A and B are shown apart, each in its own frame.
Chain A
Amino acid sequence: VSYRETVAEALEAGHRLAGLHAVGETVRAVLVASDGSAVVASVEAEDGRVPSIVDLAPSANWDEREAADLYGLRFDGHEPLRPLVDHDLELARWTVPVYGADAYQVAVGPIHAGVIESGHFRFHVVGDRILHLDARLFYKHRGLERAAEGRTLEDGFAYAQRACAACAVSNTLAYAHACEDALGLRPSSELARVRTILLELERVWSHLNDIAAVCAGVGLAAGNARFAALTERARELNRALTGHRFLFGSIGVGGSAVELDVEAVAAARAELDALLAESRGAWRELLFNASFQDRLPDVGVVTAVDARALGAVGPAARASGIAEDARTLGERLAYDGFEPVAPRRVAGDVQARLEQRAVELLQSFDVLSSLLGGPVEPAEALPRAAAKPLGLAFVESPRGATLCVVEHDSGRLRRLRLRTGSYANWPVVAHAAAGNLLPDFPLINKSFELCYACADR
């Protein structure tokens, strides 16, 4: 069976493309089923060329362009194969041509007007109406994956953590799970519990931050300040529990050193209860703020069909009606009985994406409250299966399913690939912007609140 046939069959059977990467002259596509089982389809390049699958799975678009730029491969059938990571090229090579009366371009970035990461947006507009958006990211490309090659699995951890502070737990947990998958290790139930706690602590501060960001996006200073104050408290709670406000170093390959006694756990529960009560109050105020709410509906709409085709993940996908959440997959974490939630109005617009954060926040407080019932002890992963050269894992980050693939030769990394929720969703942001007004773009962008660092690596 050929590479394309394997991919087509898996898609036919209901798998979704989770990522594609090059390792040397080989290209691998990872497809995941709704039960979390994965199919890895591989193909060897001939004269540096491999068949494209972008016609079968449009969400392979960025992955193939990245493999072309960084690994020098060509993808037959992917036309035009625009550069993604490569810069310093003439405009016509990386933008989609837009013609017509009064059509012109607005270039924004890489340096933005606020405290924002660096990236370039090229809007094709008529008046204030956006016809098309070409996003050029990778200004922050540090070559982390390439630099990790040849390191031990233990040393590779730092590279996964450095990709992004905002998703540090998600990314390092995906890395730890992928390494443990390769090494044949399974987490003990205590290890699953502490990792789930850490992942949800990250989601709490991140979702609070994202709600504040939408308030900032429409200029509602009071709402922004209120949720920023809650974000600060959530990050201080992280510091009290693990010694780091972004929970750096709290995840490890093969085990966890996090130790919380009865008092620490009780204090965390009390602070989480207070944060829950205050977030509810602050959210209610937003709901009844008419001038704020008026900005949100029918802006930046992503339909379920488009979200599926573009490979949207996370809160953005769920707000469009795709009830998928990597927290329901697998047994490596402690999400017993977890079901994805949805907003009241599954419209795929800014309002739905904002409300999705609010309902997920309540869910995270619930999960934390049930898992913080007693002290947390150091824990280990246990040998359960034979080691293998390729390990992979999916973790639901605050921005969506993150795939980590680890390929190794006797414990040294041959390839580390981190395909984050932000990476998956950036093309969706560009799609959501089309047809909207240019002044609404900050709001649309904030309703996704993606990381640039996570995508650029």
Chain B
Amino acid sequence: MLTLLKDLRRLRRRIDLPAPARGRSLAVRHVDAGSCNGCEHELTLATAPQYDLQRYGFGVVASPRHADVLLVTGTVTTRMRAPLLAAYEAMPEPRLVVALGDCALGCGVLGCASELAGPVEDVLPVDLRIPGCPPAPAAIAAGLVELVDARQ
């Protein structure tokens, strides 16, 4: 365990991270509305030591009740429409919605029309769009920082 922590410290020193956040903190709840799993894998690595999303003041929280931001991946399937709306309804206000990845933005979506409810903006008001198929961890971090800075 100690060796693991020492390794991580060594890794930290090698990675050129920007200065930690000052005065910004947002709790993010992720909802997969029908993705191909690519955005999830990249979002997971946005919290890896190379990017360390937490350093910018962003934490992924377990419940929409604790969240400021709803981060939605995938085109919204008919089956995920109701759970997505329920998560949004459960959030305290003010709340923000981020559509993450091309599918969430309605770009290049594949599938049967009868199974798809549409891009995120057809279901919820979208405050920030992060394009990419999938967006790389750095793009996700940059997008979220922009979202906060634009409001300060």
* Segment among A17-25, A141-149, A268-276, A297-305 that sits at the interface with chain B: A141-149
Interface residues on A, range: 35 or more
A278–B83 Cα gap in the complex (Å)? 41
Q: Which residues of B contact A231 (CB under 8 A)?
A: 45, 48
Q: Which of B1-38 contact A (CB under 8 A)?
A: 1, 3-5, 7-8, 11, 30-38
Are A114 and B62 within 8 A (Cβ)? Answer: yes
Q: Which one of B7, B37, B40 has the greatest number of beta carbons of chain A within 10 Å?
A: B37
Q: Name B3's contact: one of A111, A229, A285 (CB within 8 Å).
A: A285
Q: Name A147's contact: one of B34, B43, B75, B112 (CB within 8 Å).
A: B112
Q: Which residues of B contact A291 (CB under 8 A)?
A: 1
Residue B116 interfacial (CB < 8 Å): yes
Q: Which residues of B contact A143 (CB under 8 A)?
A: 111-112, 114-116
Q: Which residues of B contact A116 (CB under 8 A)?
A: 32, 40
Interface string of A445-457 (1 = CB under 8 A from B): 0000001111000
Are A111 and B31 within 8 A (Cβ)? Answer: yes
A225–B9 Cα gap in the complex (Å)? 11
Residue B106 interfacial (CB < 8 Å): no
Are A117 and B112 within 8 A (Cβ)? Answer: no
Interface string of B90-108 (1 = CB under 8 A from A): 0000000000000000000
CB distance from A381 to the nearest CB of B (A): 25
Which secondary structure dominates where chain B touches chain A?
Answer: mixed
Are B83 and A229 within 8 A (Cβ)? Answer: no
A326–B12 Cα gap in the complex (Å)? 39
Contact A117:B37 (CB < 8 A) given known A142-B112, A146-B112: yes
Are B60 and A115 within 8 A (Cβ)? Answer: yes
Are A140 and B34 within 8 A (Cβ)? Answer: yes
Contact A140:B77 (CB < 8 A) given known A110-B83, A229-B48: yes
Are A165 and B63 within 8 A (Cβ)? Answer: no
Q: Which residues of B contact A165 (CB under 8 A)?
A: 36-39, 41, 134
Are B110 and A147 within 8 A (Cβ)? Answer: yes
* In the complex, residue of chain B having the shortest beta-carbon distance to the beta carbon of A248: B133
A85–B37 Cα gap in the complex (Å)? 19
Q: Which of B33-87 contact A (CB under 8 A)?
A: 33-45, 47-51, 60, 62-63, 74-75, 77, 79-80, 83, 87
Q: Which one of A168, A225, A245, A281 has the greatest number of beta carbons of chain B within 10 Å?
A: A225
Q: Which one of B32, B50, B75, B134 has the greatest number of beta carbons of chain A within 10 Å?
A: B32
* In the complex, residue of chain A having the shortest beta-carbon distance to the beta carbon of B60: A115
Are B31 and A118 within 8 A (Cβ)? Answer: yes
Q: Which of A89-139 contact B (CB under 8 A)?
A: 110-111, 113-118, 138-139
Q: Which one of B36, B45, B114 has the greatest number of beta carbons of chain A within 10 Å?
A: B36
Residue B118 interfacial (CB < 8 Å): no
Interface string of A196-213 (1 = CB under 8 A from B): 000000000000010000
Q: Which of A274-318 contact B (CB under 8 A)?
A: 281-282, 285, 289, 291
In the complex, 28 of the A-B residue pairs with CB atoms within 8 angstroms, ordered by the A residue number, are A110-B83, A111-B32, A115-B40, A115-B43, A115-B60, A118-B32, A118-B80, A139-B79, A139-B80, A140-B80, A142-B116, A143-B112, A144-B110, A158-B110, A159-B110, A162-B110, A164-B36, A166-B37, A166-B38, A209-B41, A222-B4, A226-B11, A228-B45, A228-B49, A229-B8, A229-B49, A235-B45, A453-B36
Residues of A within 8 A of B (CB): 87, 110-111, 113-118, 138-144, 146-147, 158-159, 162-166, 168, 209, 222-223, 225-226, 228-229, 231-232, 235, 245-246, 248, 281-282, 285, 289, 291, 451-454
